[in-house]
């Protein structure tokens, strides 16, 4: 789960301690049979459960500067919503995802035409991935209708390390922070051809 230590430390941890959930997900056809998470791929056939922990120190900018901390990234804003009732666990709501993206960049006071990369939830399901991309397309389409040639890279850490479930959001954030520090995005792997629904 997601744990907060003090006011500045965020810790996300996922351990698979019992096989019952994995067995239930396998029976439901939600897990990739070969253990490879093929995000955005034509061959996407389920997600991969994984274990891990992520810890981040979050501080207001003025405190970090006053304390002489090395600042790896700045979170300019955020947004939270809920997809509402859905057809299933692997079926996101594209309209609600579009609303979330729009709310996030408004909260951060960011011009969406300047966004060059989105770290997607991207679980590697043949239905869920295209729906998530549709939500992104809807959000950017509404915001950038007059902009010609705008583009944005998309990736998901789940292709590289699997789905950390309760720690997945922090894992994606850590990937982006590390990529910014190195000025290089790690490739989303296991993609032979893009999902034809994208």
Give ∠ CA 192-33-187 in degrees, rounded to 5.
35
Separation between Cα atoms, residue 69 and residue 53, nearest integer Å: 22
Instruction: Give the strand order in the sheet containing 9-14.
Output: 2-5, 9-14, 52-57
- pTM equals 0.88
Please state the rounded mean pLDDT for residues 146-165: 84
DSSP-derived secondary structure letter, 71: P
Percent of the chain beyond pLDDT 90? 72
pLDDT digits (tens, 9 = 90+) for 73-121: 999 999 999 887 777 766 788 999 999 999 999 999 999 988 989 999 9
pLDDT digits (tens, 9 = 90+) for 18-60: 999 999 999 999 999 999 999 999 999 999 999 999 999 999 9
């Amino acid at each position: 789960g997601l744990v907060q230590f003090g006011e500045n430390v965020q810790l996300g941890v996922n351990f698979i301690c019992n096989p019952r959930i994995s067995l239930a997900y396998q029976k439901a056809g939600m897990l990739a049979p070969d253990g490879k998470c093929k995000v955005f791929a034509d061959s996407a056939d389920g997600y991969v459960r994984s274990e891990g922990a992520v810890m981040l120190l979050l501080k207001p900018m003025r405190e970090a500067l006053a304390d002489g901390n090395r600042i790896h990234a700045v979170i300019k804003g955020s947004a939270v919503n809920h997809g509402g009732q859905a057809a299933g666990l692997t079926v996101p709501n594209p309209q609600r995802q579009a609303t979330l993206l729009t709310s996030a960049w408004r909260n951060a006071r960011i011009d969406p035409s300047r966004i060059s990369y989105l770290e997607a939830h991207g679980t590697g399901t043949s239905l869920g991935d295209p729906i998530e991309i549709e939500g992104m397309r809807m959000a950017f389409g509404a915001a950038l209708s007059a902009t010609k040639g705008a583009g944005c890279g998309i990736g998901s850490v789940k292709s590289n390390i699997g789905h950390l479930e309760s720690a997945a959001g922090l894992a994606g954030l850590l990937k982006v922070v590390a990529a910014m520090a190195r000025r290089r995005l790690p490739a989303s792997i296991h993609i032979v051809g893009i999902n034809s629904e994208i």
